[in-house]
A and B are shown apart, each in its own frame.
Chain A
Amino acid sequence: MTDTADNGNRMTGAEIVLRALKENGVEHLFGYPGGAVLPIYDEIFQQDDIQHILVRHEQGAGHAAEGYARSTGKVGVMLVTSGPGATNAVTPLQDALMDSIPLVCLTGQVPTTLIGSDAFQEADTVGITRPCTKHNWLVKDVNELAGVIHEAFRIAQTGRPGPVVVDIPKDVQFATGTYVPPSEALASKSYTPKVDGDLKAIQAAVELMATARRPILYTGGGVINAGPEASKLLRELVELTDFPITSTLMGLGAYPASGKNWLGMLGMHGSYEANMAMHDCDVMVCIGARFDDRITGRLNAFSPNSRKVHIDIDPSSINKNVRVDIPIIGDVGRVLEDMVRLWRALPKKPEKAQASEWHASIETWRARKSFSYKNSNDVIMPQYALERLAEATKGRDTYITTEVGQHQMWAAQFFGFEEPNHWMTSGGLGTMGYGLPAALGVQVAHPEALVIDIAGDASIQMCIQEMSCAIQHNLPVKIFILNNQYMGMVRQWQQLLHGNRLSNSYTEAMPDFVKLAEAYGAVGMYCDDPKELDEKIAEMIAVKAPVIFDCRVANLANCFPMIPSGKAHNEMLLPDEASDEAVATAIDAKGRQLV
């Protein structure tokens, strides 16, 4: 390296951070300043390429970065200070780990000389975040900083995506070192994710699929993570094979809800037809999903007569919960490409009649209308509210985020997603408080789009402080609260499991959400009359500012259908069968021990 070139690459650690972010394509950064990151914030102040979005709590920064990542397919980036800044980031890190969301979290750390001395705002950040990240680093040498940040971006977004943490002591931010561009950074040799599936296994899968009389495609978040092209290929595969398709909560939108082969979501609150088809199928093709316990129900009764194909980029997902017959390790997009090609090349395609009985069975199950509910003229039913919301947003570029609970399941059941990357929800970790900051992240990435956080009255209060962030950054997100005055899902479980003793699940002191919105400088709306709902929803959508919509719904509505604890897919509790007695006895003593 010549002297001049060297001089151009000599800079402080804080400058290295900003340059590395820029060269990794970062345009937005979600964060909160503090003592141990002040040098980096000083650099942020002196540049215009990267926009910093100031949140009100580090958890908000993490979920906003997640929403940003999930709606764009890019890496979400957050910046927080040492100690409490880092510990507040733990929840979104674990959330991103469980939902496989690419996230780079930069944390400040006390100066290297003070590490281990119980210094002010010191925490063992790499120790605390080790189990909730894909990988993490403490950078003690400024000359390694650029390389580590580049590697952090590579690891976060390749293979099975996930969160990473780079912990940067304050003295390293001040120190002068050499910047290395991404092209010259050393990639760790031990990390080489496999993206191409084994062609023999894919061929075997295609041959098995061709013999199926009762096939089903069971898809998940892996399809979304593999990029828009993977969703296109999935649609093509469905078109070619005419297989019925269901999806996990995480995978909604990869196949359109309006598509003719769509069975609806599967699992604990999935549709009757999806779960029955999973139970009775003879060939199951799992694409980028992981046989989670909310999906399988009782494992020893899970799809007992099927041969199973499992496509996943993470080898540890294979045979973890359910043993499969044909594992295919690789990127869903690449594998689907091969699968579509090999299906086209089949010497003899299966006859239409081969699966005709199967399609007839599915129609019988579908006719049970498992998402039906009894509507009312006097109170707004939560399902009705979501149907009307979905109707009002049709034809618009709409992104939905949710909090966690009944409203989340109803949103998944009733909204009907047509495109990937338009549905952001905390699936694996089930983080209440996710929806509002995630919506902010989505709105930052898509300033012109309609972004709605479908919320519950309890969840929304977990990160309500981010209203302030919405106002500051002109992010006109719409918060649609299904307000039933209860922690609805907790109450539903108490009814099912604990003799309807509603221990601490009623919120006795609810804020006035309209005034709360106004206090933040946003618009507050209220509706408790089904006849006024459409008009008010239209008004909410028209407002060019953040809105909190307090939608008062029936207090005691339950979320059905449901696979009660300890039951199999074909033992669902359907809404028309869910009498008080059936609900009270749905879960036996053994099932009560664990949720």
Chain B
Amino acid sequence: MNAHQQPTGSAYFISPETAKVESHTLSVLVTNEPGVLARVIGLFSGRGYNIESLTVSETEHESHLSRITIVTNGTPTVLEQIKAQLERIVPVHRVVDLTVRAGQLGQERPIEREVALIKVAGTGESRAEVLRLADAFQAKVVDATVGHFIFEITGKSSKIDQFIGVVKPLGLIEVCRTGIAAMNRGPQGM
């Protein structure tokens, strides 16, 4: 970082960042204990890192382990620092940068999936149109009345964005998304 080009003229050196900002997905294995999520989130807010998506749930009940999936962005140096800072938190067992790992495995990205529930008004002619679109996106009807549908849709975030985009003009009522769940391809665990 000391090789940056422009001086800012301060002992509190805030460099004009020239390195490219990348979006990475991190998997964080933590002890499932009170406050652990606050520690992780507090680290991000306290040190000025970004959270694009956050998903957390217990994954191994017997060993009290939860897995937190965070999509964040930053320059490679900042991303390296985020990982190191996360590893410093006492109840954090492991941190894997899935995006970096995918690169090492010769893959473009890790597998990243999201679930969304999408409520759409559907009466008259638009009703058939909504269902046709849902079918095209492989969205499943999980609730319906004569006036609405709730769809369950799974996939990449971009697919969900797209589906929301197309049903919006037909009467989108509300959306709930889980955030991203992710893992690397191949037989190895994190």
- Which A residue's beta carbon lies closest to that of B46? A131
If A130-B42, A300-B15 touch, does A190 touch B30 (CB 8 Å cutoff)? yes
Q: Which residues of B contact A302 (CB under 8 A)?
A: 2
Which of A28-36, A75-83, A311-319, A419-427 is near enough to bind chain B?
A: A311-319
- Which A residue's beta carbon lies closest to that of B1? A323
* A298-B7, A591-B11 given; 6 more Cβ-contact pairs under 8 Å: A191-B90, A298-B9, A303-B2, A563-B11, A565-B11, A594-B10
Which of B31-39, B108-116, B137-145, B164-172 is near enough to bind chain A?
A: B31-39
On whether the beta carbons of A138 and B30 are closer than 8 Å, the reply is no
| Contact residues of A: prevailing secondary structure | loop
**Is A593's CB within 8 Å of the partner chain B?**
yes
Q: How far is the CA of A563 from the CA of B34 in the complex (A)?
A: 46
- Which A residue's beta carbon lies closest to that of B38? A130
On whether the beta carbons of B11 and A316 are closer than 8 Å, the reply is no
**Residue in contact with B11 in the complex, picked from A126, A304, A589, A594, CB distance below 8 Å:** A594
Closest CB of chain B to A186's CB: distance in Å? 12
Interface residues on B, range: 20 to 34
Which of A212-220, A289-297, A444-452 is near enough to bind chain B?
A: A289-297
Q: How far is the CA of A293 from the CA of B14 in the complex (A)?
A: 11
On whether the beta carbons of B91 and A190 are closer than 8 Å, the reply is yes
Q: How far is the CA of A595 from the CA of B35 in the complex (A)?
A: 35
On whether the beta carbons of B7 and A293 are closer than 8 Å, the reply is no
> Chain A interface (Cβ within 8 Å of chain B)?
126-127, 130-131, 134-135, 138, 155, 188-191, 268, 293-294, 296-304, 314-316, 318-323, 563, 565-566, 588-591, 593-595
Q: Which residues of A contact B46 (CB under 8 A)?
A: 131
Closest CB of chain B to A190's CB: distance in Å? 4
If A299-B2, A303-B2, A304-B2 touch, does A566 touch B87 (CB 8 Å cutoff)? no
**Residue in contact with B12 in the complex, picked from A126, A323, A594, CB distance below 8 Å:** A594
**Is B128's CB within 8 Å of the partner chain A?**
no
Q: How far is the CA of A191 from the CA of B10 in the complex (A)?
A: 37
- Which A residue's beta carbon lies closest to that of B6? A300
**Is B77's CB within 8 Å of the partner chain A?**
yes
**Residue in contact with B35 in the complex, picked from A130, A268, A294, A318, CB distance below 8 Å:** A130
The residue among B12, B34, B81 with the most chain A CB atoms within 10 A of its own CB is B12
On whether the beta carbons of B13 and A322 are closer than 8 Å, the reply is no
> Chain B interface (Cβ within 8 Å of chain A)?
1-15, 30-31, 34-35, 38-39, 42, 46, 77, 80-81, 84-85, 87-88, 90-93
Closest CB of chain B to A388's CB: distance in Å? 32
The residue among A126, A134, A135, A300 with the most chain B CB atoms within 10 A of its own CB is A300
The residue among A293, A298, A590 with the most chain B CB atoms within 10 A of its own CB is A298
On whether the beta carbons of A293 and B13 are closer than 8 Å, the reply is yes
Can you give 9 A-B contacts (C-beta < 8 A)?
A138-B35, A293-B13, A300-B2, A300-B3, A303-B2, A304-B2, A316-B85, A316-B88, A595-B10
Query: How many residue-residue contacts, CB under 8 A, span A and B?
Result: 106
Q: Which residues of B contact A301 (CB under 8 A)?
A: 7
Closest CB of chain A to B147's CB: distance in Å? 41
On whether the beta carbons of A323 and B11 are closer than 8 Å, the reply is no
On whether the beta carbons of B87 and A300 are closer than 8 Å, the reply is no
Q: How far is the CA of A85 from the CA of B88 in the complex (A)?
A: 28
If A188-B91, A190-B91 touch, does A322 touch B38 (CB 8 Å cutoff)? no
Q: Which residues of A contact B38 (CB under 8 A)?
A: 127, 130
**Residue in contact with A566 in the complex, picked from B9, B30, B39, B84, CB distance below 8 Å:** B9
Q: How far is the CA of A588 from the CA of B7 in the complex (A)?
A: 12
Q: How far is the CA of A131 from the CA of B34 in the complex (A)?
A: 15
On whether the beta carbons of B84 and A323 are closer than 8 Å, the reply is no
On whether the beta carbons of B87 and A315 are closer than 8 Å, the reply is yes
Q: Which residues of A contact B12 (CB under 8 A)?
A: 293, 594-595
If A126-B35, A155-B90 touch, does A297 touch B11 (CB 8 Å cutoff)? yes
Closest CB of chain B to A308's CB: distance in Å? 9
Q: Which residues of B contact A134 (CB under 8 A)?
A: 90
Closest CB of chain B to A128's CB: distance in Å? 11
On whether the beta carbons of A316 and B1 are closer than 8 Å, the reply is no
Closest CB of chain B to A206's CB: distance in Å? 24
The residue among B6, B30, B35, B42 with the most chain A CB atoms within 10 A of its own CB is B35
- Which B residue's beta carbon lies closest to that of A297? B11
On whether the beta carbons of B80 and A294 are closer than 8 Å, the reply is no
On whether the beta carbons of B2 and A319 are closer than 8 Å, the reply is no
**Residue in contact with B1 in the complex, picked from A191, A297, A322, A566, CB distance below 8 Å:** A322
On whether the beta carbons of B1 and A565 are closer than 8 Å, the reply is no
Q: How far is the CA of A26 from the CA of B10 in the complex (A)?
A: 44
If A130-B35, A130-B42, A594-B12 touch, does A188 touch B7 (CB 8 Å cutoff)? no
**Residue in contact with A594 in the complex, picked from B2, B14, B87, B91, CB distance below 8 Å:** B14
Closest CB of chain B to A430's CB: distance in Å? 13
The residue among B3, B81, B88 with the most chain A CB atoms within 10 A of its own CB is B88
On whether the beta carbons of B9 and A322 are closer than 8 Å, the reply is no
**Residue in contact with B8 in the complex, picked from A155, A316, A318, A590, CB distance below 8 Å:** A590
- Which B residue's beta carbon lies closest to that of A294? B11
- Which B residue's beta carbon lies closest to that of A138? B34
Q: Which residues of B contact A303 (CB under 8 A)?
A: 2
Closest CB of chain A to B148's CB: distance in Å? 38
Q: How far is the CA of A268 from the CA of B42 in the complex (A)?
A: 31
Q: How far is the CA of A294 from the CA of B14 in the complex (A)?
A: 14
Q: Which residues of B contact A320 (CB under 8 A)?
A: 81, 84
On whether the beta carbons of B31 and A565 are closer than 8 Å, the reply is no
- Which B residue's beta carbon lies closest to that of A301? B7
Q: Which residues of A contact B39 (CB under 8 A)?
A: 130
If A190-B93, A315-B84, A315-B87 touch, does A323 touch B2 (CB 8 Å cutoff)? yes
Q: Which residues of B contact A594 (CB under 8 A)?
A: 10-12, 14
On whether the beta carbons of B2 and A566 are closer than 8 Å, the reply is no
Q: Which residues of B contact A298 (CB under 8 A)?
A: 7-11, 13
Question: A-B pairs with the 10 shortest C-beta distances?
Answer: A590-B9, A566-B9, A316-B84, A299-B13, A594-B10, A135-B90, A594-B12, A190-B93, A591-B9, A300-B4
If A190-B92, A315-B84, A316-B87 touch, does A588 touch B1 (CB 8 Å cutoff)? no
If A188-B31, A316-B85 touch, does A588 touch B11 (CB 8 Å cutoff)? no
Q: Which residues of B contact A323 (CB under 8 A)?
A: 1-3, 77
If A300-B15, A302-B2 touch, does A189 touch B93 (CB 8 Å cutoff)? yes
Q: Which residues of B contact A315 (CB under 8 A)?
A: 84, 87-88
- Which B residue's beta carbon lies closest to that of A314? B88
If A131-B42, A131-B46, A323-B2 touch, does A318 touch B11 (CB 8 Å cutoff)? no
The residue among B9, B11, B85 with the most chain A CB atoms within 10 A of its own CB is B11
If A300-B3, A323-B3 touch, does A316 touch B81 (CB 8 Å cutoff)? yes
